[in-house]
Amino acid sequence: MVKPHPLAPSPDGEGVPEDGRPIVLPVGVLALQGDFARHAEALSRAGLESREVRRTGELRSVSGLVLPGGESTTYLKFFEREPGWGGALRQFAESGKPVLATCAGLILIAARVDNPPQASLALLDVDVVRNAYGRQVDSFVGEATCADGSSMEAVFIRAPKIARVGASVEVLARESSDPVLVRSGNVFGATFHPELSEEPAVHRRVFGGGRSADAAAPAPAARADSGVASR
Ligand code: GLN
């Protein structure tokens, strides 16, 4: 079942049919690189429809946006070729619609990036250090502790660490003492890959969504196909 998103229809009234029933806009998943397909699956487990976004104009027809993990330098290469992306993503984030940036997506929107330094969009007031846990072989499935004391599985793959959190940024979950899920208003950042865990708790928190039948399945200790070790 697809639950209407609280932010649909868009505030400018686009997409409201004559009978007044709201159209449910899908959640967008930026599909330029990385594991966008897994995010679409996680949104579906949360009972939400999604749409892949490959052109800036497609941002008009989505109610929220996922910036998937993968490789942040690949994002930068795309944006060099199509400079309109930076402004389009800034405008989207400033519109108040929910944004979830994971891993390389978080690196892309951080205020400052180190190891090595690289350009970023500064849509979220955090500083990040790339590959802060080591190389691919140091990827692991950990457990994040949420602010309310509950815990959730968190899959870290060549993950960054958040080295500084701005005054406007709330820490929603930590692994050891490191912030791993943060929020500033409508913009959320995760250093891990919530789309690789069975339970779509993060997607549901960011975008709303009901509980679909298969979302009730217990989270596996480690995804056999994600190539990361448990710790
Ligand atoms: N290490 C990658 C980067 O710097 C991020 C890895 C990921 O998204 N899983 O962009």
Question: Which is catalytic among the residues 153, 175, 195, 199?
Answer: 195
Q: How far does the centroid of ligand 1 lie from the alpha carbon of residue 70, in Å?
A: 5
pTM, entire model? 0.84
Q: How far does the centroid of ligand 1 lie from the alpha carbon of residue 103, in Å?
A: 6
Distant-in-sequence, close-in-space partners of 142: CB < 8 Å, separation ≥ 6: 153, 154, 155, 156, 175, 192, 231
The yes-or-no answer on residue 103 being catalytic is yes
The yes-or-no answer on residue 203 being catalytic is no
Q: Are 91 and 181 in contact (CB under 8 A)?
A: no
* Domain ranges for the chain: 27-230
Q: State pLDDT tens for residues 85-125.
A: 999 999 999 999 999 999 999 999 999 999 999 999 999 99
Fold of 27-230: Rossmann fold (3.40.50)
Q: How many whole angstroms separate alpha carbon 180 and alpha carbon 142? A: 11
The yes-or-no answer on residue 195 being catalytic is yes
Q: Are 53 and 46 in contact (CB under 8 A)?
A: no
Q: State pLDDT tens for residues 133-192.
A: 988 778 899 999 999 999 999 999 999 999 999 999 999 999 999 999 999 999 999 999
Q: How far does the centroid of ligand 1 lie from the alpha carbon of residue 217, in Å?
A: 28
| Element (DSSP H or E) covering residue 73 | helix 72-81
Q: How many whole angstroms separate alpha carbon 109 and alpha carbon 67? A: 9
Q: How many whole angstroms separate alpha carbon 48 and alpha carbon 31? A: 17
